[in-house]
Amino acid sequence: MVSARDADQGKLVTKMSVQLKEHVEMPEWAKFIKTGVSRERQPEQPDWYYLRSASVLRKIYNDGPVGVEKLRSYYGGLHRRGHKPAHFAKGGGKILRTILQQLESAGYVRKEKKGRFITAQGQKFVDNAAKLTK
């Protein structure tokens, strides 16, 4: 049995993003925003929202209860500040909150007191995508 931990992560995320297009809908405002203060421009890939959704689902699968703040730290980067030294900045939270809400409505993630957990349906979805990557 192939699990998501054993599969190639890049192939897994791309495979899941194709399948998530049926369950997750990209909001209108997502076409015009940056993903955090550490970025200078908006993403160039047209399906970046689905890739991020698949990556968030994989992160919840691997790391257990995950909240928005932990995900913001994961998707952050260096904020270049001109002549001053660069510092770490967290990623955008609105994007992650809407992705998590859509994954909850699809039934892949459930919200509890400690954070978001993956459901049995979500675990089955990720494991099936991992089988297809082999």
Asked if 99 contacts 55 with a C-beta cutoff of 8 angstroms, the reply is no
Residue 115 lies inside a defined structural domain of this protein: yes
Q: How many domains does the chain have?
A: 1
Least Cα distance to 20 among 117, 105, 94 occurs for 105
Residue 86 lies inside a defined structural domain of this protein: yes
Identify the pLDDT of residue 44.
87
Provide the mean pLDDT of the chain.
91
Residue 60 lies inside a defined structural domain of this protein: yes
Residue 4 lies inside a defined structural domain of this protein: no
Q: Is 104 exposed, middle or buried (0-12, 13-18, 19+ CB in 10 A)?
A: middle
Domain that holds residue 129: 9-133
Residue 117 lies inside a defined structural domain of this protein: yes
pLDDT digits (tens, 9 = 90+) for 44-63: 888 999 999 999 999 999 99
Look at the pTM and tell me if it is higher than 0.85: yes
Residue 3 lies inside a defined structural domain of this protein: no
Residue 80 lies inside a defined structural domain of this protein: yes
Distance of CA 12 to the CA centre of its chain: 13
- Rg (the chain; Cα; Å): 15
**Six token digits for residue 97:** 């909150």
Domain at 48, CATH number: 1.10.10.10
The Cα–Cα gap between 41 and 118 comes to 32
Residue 2 lies inside a defined structural domain of this protein: no
